[in-house]
């Protein structure tokens, strides 16, 4: 089943902190060469993580729901630098 998560995220309200991503990869080489499962690319509920054609993994946190999954799931490599966005920025749940 192919689902466009973008259509789901489109319903949400965000205040994006442009140019200040709150999640980043610590060592890109680890993602490419040492991590087999690349679970972050499957488990992120907002599809912020993608595996590029060349094996590189990238994260774009604009649609992030701030759950923490990507940080916890990368337990073997501990390769995710994860902070909450600055106060007031990020996801703004209307209902929660």
Partner 1 sequence: MAEKFDVIVVGAGPSGNAAALRLAESGLSVLQIERGESPGSKNVQGAILYSDALEKLIPDFRDDAPLERHIIEQRMWVLDDDSFVGTHYRSDSFNKEPYNRYTMIRSQFDKWFSERVQKAGALLICETTVSHLLLDGQRVIGVMTDRQGGEIYADAVILADGVNSLLAKKAGFHPELKPKNVALAVKEIHFMPQEVIEQRFGVKGDEGVVIEMVGKITKGMMGTGFLYTNRESVTIGVGCMLSDFKNQKVTPYELLEQMKQHPSIQPMLAGGEMKEYTAHLIPEGGFNAMPDLYGDGWMIVGDAGMFVNAVHREGSNLAMTTGMHAADTLIELKAEGKEFSKANLKRYKARLDESFVMKDMKKYKNMPEVFHTNPQFFNDYPDLISQAARTMLTVDGVDKKTKEREIRKSFRQRRSLFGLMGDAFKLWRALE
Q: Which residues sit at the interface with partner 1, rule CB under 8 A?
A: 1, 3, 5, 8-9, 11-12, 15, 37, 39, 42-47, 65-69, 71-73, 75, 78, 83-88, 90-96
Any residues with CB less than 8 A from the CB of 3 and at least 6 apart, and which?
A: none
Euclidean distance between CA atoms 82 and 21, whole angstroms: 10
C-beta separation of 46 from 65 below 8 A: yes
Select from 79, 86, 95, 96 the one that contacts ligand SF4 (CB under 6 A): 79
Degrees to nearest 5, angle at CA 67 with 95 and 4: 75
Show the tokens assigned to 21.
């991503």
Site for ligand SF4 in 34-63 (CB under 6 A): 35, 38-40, 44-46, 48, 57, 61
> From the CB of 12, what's the least distance to partner 1, in Å?
6
58 beta partners: 50
Chain residues in the site for ligand SF4 (CB under 6 A): 23, 25, 30-31, 35, 38-40, 44-46, 48, 57, 61, 64-70, 74, 77, 79-80
């Amino acid at each position: 089943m192919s689902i466009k998560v973008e259509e789901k995220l489109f319903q949400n309200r965000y205040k994006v902190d442009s140019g200040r991503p709150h999640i980043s990869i610590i060592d890109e080489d680890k993602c490419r060469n040492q991590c087999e499962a690349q679970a972050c690319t499957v488990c992120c509920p907002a599809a912020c993580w993608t595996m590029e054609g060349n094996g590189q993994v990238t994260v774009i946190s604009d649609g992030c729901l701030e759950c923490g999954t990507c940080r916890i799931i990368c337990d073997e490599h501990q390769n995710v630098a994860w902070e909450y966005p600055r106060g007031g920025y990020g996801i703004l749940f209307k209902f929660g």
